[in-house]
Amino acid sequence: MNTAFDSWLAKELGNGLVDIKFAVAPGKGITTEAIQNELLAAEAMLAAGYVKTAPTATSVVPETVRQFVDQH
């Protein structure tokens, strides 16, 4: 099945996207149906063009660690 998400992902991969991760973990009070509904709603937003520019990647290394590494 080719969905709007499939199309969007193919385009992003063509633009250089390297990796995308999803975590779906139903917990107390959260059903798999609720998660599915959220994913369907997100896909509808993609189809409607409500996609913001991807955030710029930044380092997750704390500045103090970066300074230590740079000094050694």
> Which tens digits make up the pLDDT trace of 33-48?
888 888 888 888 888 8
The residue among 64, 59, 57 whose CA lies nearest residue 17 is 57
- Could you list the residue range(s) of the whole structural domain that residue 54 is in? 4-71
pLDDT at 46: 83
* Tally of domains in the chain: 1
6, with CB counted inside 10 A (0-12, 13-18, 19+), is: exposed
Counted residue by residue, the chain has a size of 72
Consecutive 10-residue averages of pLDDT for the chain (72 residues): 80 87 76 85 86 73 86 88
pLDDT at 35: 83
pLDDT at 1: 59
pTM: 0.38
